[in-house]
A and B are shown apart, each in its own frame.
Chain A
Amino acid sequence: MAAGESIICVRGLKNAFGEQVIHDGLDLDVRRGEIIGVVGGSGTGKSVLMRSIIGLQLPVEGTVEVFGESMIDRDEDEAVQVRKRWGVLFQNGALFSTLTVAENIEVPLREYYPHLSKELLDEIAGYKVVMSGLPANAGPKYPSELSGGMRKRAGLARALALDPQLVFLDEPTAGLDPIGAAAFDNLILELQRTLGLTVFLITHDLDTLHAICDRVAVLADRKVIAVGTIPELLALDHPWIQEYFNGPRGRAAADTVERIHATQAGNKEAGGA
C-alpha cells in the first residue's frame, strides 16, 4: 500500500506507564475513507493507542503520522492545523457541562473561525443537531439533562462541527441499549457515507464490528496482531481472534448480520418479481 493512501500511519509505537509496557513495536495504517474497528481485550491499550494518535499521550518511541504529518513533538501552531481536520468523540461524550448542546457544538467553530456571525453559528449548530439525530429541542439543553444515548449523539455532533475528514470514536455504543446502539451504528455509517469520513472506531461491540466496519485491527500482545476484514481475520489461527469472533457472542452477532443480509436480498427479489 502506498504511503499516500493511509491517513493515519503508526510505526514502531511504544507506550509505557512506568514499568508497565502497553504497546511495543505497534504498527497500524488507516486508509482514507474507511471505517476501521479497533478491538482487543480489556487493558490492551485501545484507548491509549487513540490517545497517542491524537497527541494526548506522548509515546516512549515510534512515529505517528496523521494526514502525512508527524504528530510527535509537534510545534503547537502546526499541530492545531492538523487538529482542525479531525473530530474526537470520547467515551462518555466529554461534553462541556456548563454549556448547552448548541454551545458545545459551537465551541470548535468559535475557536477556529471567530469571524463567523452569531446567526450562522446558530444555523450550523441547528443543522448539526438534526444531523446527529438529536430531537429538535435538544439545542438549549445542558448535558446533565440528556440521556446517555443523546449525550453521545451530541458528542458526535461536536466532533463533526468542523466538518472533519477523520473522526475518532471511543466506544460509541458502550452503555447504550441494543436499539440505541444499532441506531448509532446506522448514524455513523450514514454520516460516513454522506461526508466521506475516515472513522477510527474503538469498540467492544461485535454487532458494530459486523455492521459497519470495513476492516478490523486486533490489539493483543502489545501490538496490532492482525488487520483485515472479518472473514480475513477468521482465517487466521490466533486463539484470541478465534475465541473473540467464534465465541457465543461473536457467532450470534455474525448470524444477525447474515440474517439481515438474507432478508434484504429476499426483499429485493420479491420487489423485482
Chain B
Amino acid sequence: MVAAYMVGTAFRRQSLAVARFPRQCPPRMTAPADFTTSDGTLKFTGGLTLARMGDVPQRLDTLDTPPTAVDLSGIERIDTVGAWMVHRLVRDHGTRIEGADEDAARLIDQVSQWDQPVQVRPDATPPFFRVLAQMGAATTAAFQTLLGLVGFLGQIVIACGDLIRHPKRIRGNAFARQFEVVGVDALAIVGLMSFLIGIVIAQQGAVQLRQFGAEVFTINLIGRITLRELGVLMTAIMVAGRSGSAFAAQLGSMKLAEEVDAMRTIGVSPVEALVLPRVGATVVLMPLLGFYASLVAIIGGGILCWISLDIPPTTYIQRIREVVPITDLYVGLVKAPVFGLIVAMAGCFQGMQVEGNAEEVGLRTTAAVVQAIFLVIVLDAFFAVFFTSIGWN
C-alpha cells in the first residue's frame, strides 16, 4: 500500500509532494466501497471515501451483530468520512482495527480526536411554546417599533424646531432634490394609476347603478370618492411603495457603510441632513400629488361617462360642481400631509434601524412599506369617523 496521506513535520513537503500522493494521480476512479463479513470480521474493499461510499453507511447501520474486528487491508483509499465510519464502529461496538496502513491508522486516530460532543441543531422547543414565544416576541417588537416611531417623531420635531431657530442651516439643495424625486418623478406613475382608477370606478358604478336606472349618480360616486378617499389613499400607497421604500434602502445602506456615523463625528446631525429633507418633501408634496391624483381620476371617470353613458364633458363638469361639496376637497387635503408624514417617517425610521448585514436592508425596506400602508389605512379609518362626526359628510 503506497502512502496517500503520509504526514510528518520532519519531511520537506515540497520534495516529497510527488511520492506522497501517487494514488490520487492520475485521477482515476477507485472501486465503490463495499464490505463482506465472516466470523465477526468486517472486511472493507474499494475506496472508503465520501464519493464511493454508496449505501455502505445504511448497510452498516442494519448489521445483525456488530463486528468484532474490521479489516482495512483491502481498501484503496480512505478519507475523513471513511475514517469516521470506521471510528464509529470502534466507538460504538469496541471493534478492533486490523490491517490498516500507517495513513489510514493516522487518519482514523485524527478523526477520533475530532469526535467531541458538539451541538449541530438548535435546541428544539415544543411547538406550543415556540408559537407562544414567537407571539410574545412579535408583540414586544410591535410595541417597540411603535415606541421607536414616537421617539423618532420627537427627534424630527426637535430638529424642525432647531431649523426654525437657525434658518441658515436649512439644506435647500437636499430639499429640492427630494422634491424632484418624491414629487416630479412620481407624476407619471401616479397620474396613470389615478386615471385607470377613475375609469374602473366609473365603469363599476355605472353597471351597478344602471340596475336602478340611476346611472347619472355615477358622477356623484366618482367625484366624491376620488376627492374624499381614493385620490389621497392611492397616492399614499404609491408613495409608500416608491419613496418610502427608497428612503429605507438609502438610509439603510448609508448606515451599513457607516456614513451616518461619519456624519455624526463630523458634527452633522443625520436627522437634520438626511431625514428632514425627505420627510419635509413628502409632507409638502403629498397634498399636491393627492389633489393631482383626484383630478386625473375625475378626468378618467369623465371620459368613461362620455363614452359609455353618453354624458358630455360639460354636463359632467357641471354635475361634479353641483354634487361635490367643498368639504370633500378639505377632507382629502387635510389627510394628505399626515399620510405623507407617516410614509416618510416609516421609511426613514426603518432605514435608520438597519444594523449588521445587507440582508437587514431588505427586511427593513419591506417593513417600512408594510408599516406605512398599514398606518395610513388605520388613520384613514379614524379620519373617516372624525370628519363624519364634525358634519363634513
Min CB distance A120 to B, Å, is 5
Flag B79-113 by CB within 8 Å of A: 1 or 0 each. 11100100010000000000000000011001100
A139 interface contact, C-beta 8 A: yes
CA distance A210 to B86 in the complex (A): 37
A147 within 8 A of B: no
CA gap between A129 and B116 in the complex, in Å:
10
Bound form: Cα–Cα A215–B107 in Å: 26
> Does B57 lie within 8 Å of A120, measured CB to CB?
yes
Residue of B nearest to A102 (CB): B120
Q: How distant is the Cα of A44 from the Cα of B138 in the complex, in angstroms?
A: 50
Closest residue on chain A to residue B78 by CB atoms: A163
Contact of B7 among A98, A117, A122, A193 (CB under 8 A): A193
Q: Does A33 contact B (CB under 8 A)?
A: yes
Per-residue CB proximity of B45-89 to A under 8 Å, as 1/0? 000011101110110010000000000000000011100100010
User: Which residue of the partner chain, among A33, A97, A113, A127, contacts B13 with CB atoms under 8 Å?
Assistant: A33
> Mask for A102-126, Cβ within 8 A of B = 1, else 0?
1000000100010111001011111
Q: Which of B6, B13, B26 contacts A214 (CB 8 A)?
A: B13
Tell me if B359 counts as interface (CB < 8 A to partner A): yes
Name B's interface SS: loop
CB of A68 within 8 Å of the partner chain:
yes
CB contacts (< 8 Å) of A115 on chain B: these are 54-55, 58
Contact A31 B17 (CB under 8 A): yes
Contact residues in B for A139 (Cβ distance below 8 Å):
118-121
Choice from B17, B50, B119, B122 contacting A113 with Cβ under 8 Å: B50
Q: Contact: A113 with B84, CB < 8 Å?
A: no
B120 close to A126 (CB less than 8 A): yes
Contact of B26 among A68, A102, A127, A162 (CB under 8 A): A68
Q: How far is the CB of B75 from chain A (nearest CB, A)?
A: 15
CA–CA, A223 to B111, complex, Å? 41
A126 proximity list for chain B (CB < 8 A): 118, 120
> Interface with B: A8-16, A49-57, A130-138, A167-175, which one?
A130-138
Asked if A97 and B51 make an inter-chain contact with CB atoms under 8 angstroms apart, the answer reads: no
Given contacts A124-B81, A194-B5, A196-B5, contact A165 B24 (CB under 8 A): yes
**Distance of A114 from chain B, by nearest CB (Å):** 12
Q: Is B114 an interface residue (CB 8 A)?
A: yes
When the two chains form the complex, which single residue of A84, A120, A122, A127 contacts B51, counting CB atoms closer than 8 Å?
A84
Distance (whole angstroms) from the CB of B135 to the closest CB of chain A: 22
**B-side contacts of A196, CB under 8 Å:** 4-7, 20-21, 24
Q: Are B119 and A4 in contact (CB under 8 A)?
A: no
Give the shortest distance, in Å, between A29 (CB) and chain B (any CB): 12
Say if the beta carbon of A256 comes within 8 Å of chain B: no
Chain B residues contacting A98 (CB-CB under 8 Å) are 359
Residues of A within 8 A of B7 (CB): 193-194, 196
- What is the total number of residues of chain B having a CB less than 8 Å from a CB of chain A? 48
Give, as a whole number of angstroms, the nearest-CB distance from A160 to chain B.
8
Which B residues between 284 and 343 are near A, CB-CB below 8 angstroms?
Answer: none
B213 at the interface (CB under 8 A from A): no
Q: Is B18 engaged at the interface, CB distance under 8 Å to the other chain?
A: yes
Interfacial chain B residues near A214, Cβ < 8 Å: 13-14, 17
Q: In the assembly, what is the distance between CA of A139 and CA of B117, in Å?
A: 11
Cβ of A243 within 8 Å of any chain B Cβ, yes or no, is: no
A85 to B50, CA, bound (A): 11
In the complex, whether A203 has a CB less than 8 A from a CB of chain B is: no
B126 at the interface (CB under 8 A from A): no
Query: What is the CB-to-nearest-CB distance from B37 to chain A, in angstroms, rounded to a whole number?
Result: 20
Evaluate whether A97 and B357 lie within 8 angstroms (CB atoms) in the complex, with A129-B118, A194-B7 already known.
yes
Which residues from chain B contact A33 at a C-beta distance below 8 Å?
13, 16-18, 20-21
The answer, yes or no, to whether A32 is at the interface (CB within 8 Å) is yes
**What residue in chain B is nearest A33 (Cβ atoms)?**
B17
Q: Judge if B115 is at the interface, Cβ distance under 8 Å.
A: yes
Which residues from chain A contact B127 at a C-beta distance below 8 Å? none
Closest to A126 in B: B118
B14, A215: Cβ atoms under 8 Å?
yes
The reply to whether the CB of B356 lies closer than 8 angstroms to some CB of chain A is: yes
Chain A, 1-32, CB within 8 A of any chain B CB:
4-5, 7, 31-32
Residue from A35, A127, A137 in contact with B111 in the complex, judged by beta carbons closer than 8 Å = A127
CB contact between A140 and one of B55, B114, B120 (< 8 Å): that residue: B120
Contact A116/B119 with A34-B17, A196-B20 known, Cβ cut-off 8 Å:
no
| Inter-subunit contact B50/A32 (CB<8 Å) | no
Asked if B25 is an interface residue, CB under 8 A from chain A, the answer is: yes
Whether the pair A124, B121 counts as a contact (CB closer than 8 A) is: no
B172 at the interface (CB under 8 A from A): no
Is A263 an interface position by the 8 A CB rule?
Answer: no
Check: B391 CB closer than 8 A to any chain A CB.
Answer: no
Does B84 lie within 8 Å of A127, measured CB to CB? yes
Q: Other CB < 8 Å A-B pairs besides A113-B50, A117-B61, 15 of them?
A: A33-B16, A67-B27, A98-B359, A109-B50, A120-B57, A127-B84, A129-B118, A137-B118, A140-B120, A144-B356, A144-B357, A162-B50, A163-B80, A193-B8, A193-B9
Q: List 29 A-B contacts (CB under 8 A).
A: A32-B17, A32-B21, A33-B17, A33-B20, A68-B26, A85-B27, A97-B359, A98-B359, A100-B122, A102-B121, A116-B57, A123-B88, A126-B118, A127-B80, A130-B116, A136-B116, A136-B117, A136-B119, A137-B118, A139-B119, A140-B119, A140-B122, A163-B49, A193-B8, A193-B13, A194-B5, A194-B106, A195-B5, A215-B14
Query: Interface residues, chain A, CB within 8 Å of chain B?
Result: 4-5, 7, 31-35, 67-68, 84-85, 97-98, 100, 102, 109, 113, 115-117, 120, 122-131, 136-140, 144, 162-163, 165, 193-196, 214-215, 229
**A-B pairs, 6 with minimum CB distance:** A33-B17, A140-B122, A163-B79, A127-B114, A139-B120, A126-B118
